[in-house]
Amino acid sequence: MPDPTCACPHCNCVLGQDAVQKDGKGYCCQGCADQHAHGEPCASATGCECAKSAHG
């Protein structure tokens, strides 16, 4: 069973119906799945700042 929360290191968002599966892990959004490689913000509406954390 994959963890029900996003696999992004700094993201604690619970996986929803928009979850993205990548490398056997679940991410809450495409941005997290891409590890914010292009600065995509987290799709979460809860003020998650994992995208900022990913780039210091």
| Interacting residues toward Zn ion by CB under 5 A | 6, 8, 11, 13, 28, 32, 42, 44, 48, 50
For the chain, the straight-line distance linking the first and the last C-alpha, in angstroms and rounded, comes to 31
CB of 43 to Zn ion, least distance (A): 8
Nearer to Zn ion, 1 or 55 (CB): 55
Q: 12: which 2 tokens? A: 């604690």
Measure the CA–CA gap between 56 and 51, rounded to whole angstroms.
9
Nearer to Zn ion, 1 or 40 (CB): 40
CB of 26 to Zn ion, least distance (A): 9
Query: Residue 55: what residue type?
Result: H
